[in-house]
Amino acid sequence: MSPMPEPIRKALREWGAGAGLELNVNTKALFAPLLPGGGGVTQELDIAYGGHARQKLDVYHCADGGSGKTIVLYIPGGGFTGGDKRPDEYFFSNVGRYFARRGMVCAAANYRLAPEFVWPSGAQDVQGAVRFLKDHAARFGADPRRVFVLGHSAGAAHAASYLFDPDIRGGDEVIGGALVSGAYAVRAAEMRPNVAQYFGSDESAYARRSALSHVAASKVPVFLALAEFDPLYLAAPSFEMARALTLRDGAAPPILRLEDHNHFSPICAIGTPDERLSAPLTRFIGALAAAGTAGARAE
């Protein structure tokens, strides 16, 4: 039986696949009442990790005197031209509080947006945020050698570029990554206007700008997830990424298909009783942290 309340499950199934603003707003309205309050979690908001106004972090941690905690960096979506780490009082503090309550430090990062800033600015901002968190890990009771990156939608595309791009090589700096419902290949036949504003219109550059092109040269462990009601252009890439990781590793990566969920709801559900994404993701992060820091960039 689904852990999702039946009225929410029914609504999501009736609304079906999509990734538009109205669906985003309606989905958040369903999940907001299910989220716990912020008690017991310290939040430090709008910490600058770079010089641009968008280069800011929100950090969530429990001020329990602990040290050596794993850092989870969350990169939200927004279609490359929008999005925010804290658009309202519920999201995406739900992500930060969930991981903080499980003994980690969680940061949510904004990044520069198209059309003013184009590829590879998003991946560069992920790297900037990672390096800031490493440099300031002691401030939050964290271990700079144990950083994990979680991206959703456009944030997953930026996270994938960060992890795999041969000029950035973020996979050498972190213990692993999770990619949820992102697009990892740039193709003219699948190009949408907002995506073109970020990746450009030069078709000859698309293969180089595709994270999928560079998976084979990496070693970073990756967790994949997608929603039953992701639109096709955000569902198929997860299977392409799974294939590339399988060929790289000689074994299939962890991949979740989240039944009853739409494009937005898996992240909205973090912190609610529906832990079909959050629980296995937490176990994956914990296993990597316990295994040590092999592959992380030397400090």
What's the pLDDT tens digit per position in 213-272? 999 999 999 999 999 999 999 999 999 999 999 999 999 999 999 999 999 999 999 999
Are 221 and 176 in contact by the 8 Å Cβ rule? The answer is yes
Is 296's pLDDT higher than 70?
no
Does residue 186 sit within a domain?
yes
**296 part of a folded domain:** no
Q: Identify the pLDDT of residue 298.
A: 38
Is 298 domain-assigned? no
Q: Model's pTM, two decimal places?
A: 0.96
Segment 271-289 mean pLDDT:
98
Q: Is residue 257 domain-resident?
A: yes
pLDDT of res. 293: 63
- Across the range 31-48, mean pLDDT stands at 95
Rounded Cα–Cα distance for residues 99 and 223 (Å): 16
pLDDT of residue 294: 40
Residue 94 located in a structural domain? yes
149 domain-assigned: yes
Question: What is the CATH number for 266?
Answer: 3.40.50.1820
Q: How far apart are CA 152 and CA 28, in angstroms?
A: 15
| 148-189 per-position pLDDT tens digit | 999 999 999 999 999 999 999 999 999 999 999 999 999 999
CA–CA gap between residue 89 and residue 147 (Å, rounded): 26
d(CA 169, CA 163): 6
- Arithmetic mean of pLDDT over the chain: 96
The answer to the question of residue 217 being in a domain is: yes
In the three-class reduction of DSSP (H, G, I as helix; E, B as strand; rest coil), residue 239 is classed as helix
Q: State the residue range of the domain holding 150.
A: 6-32+41-291
Domain count for the chain, please give it. 1
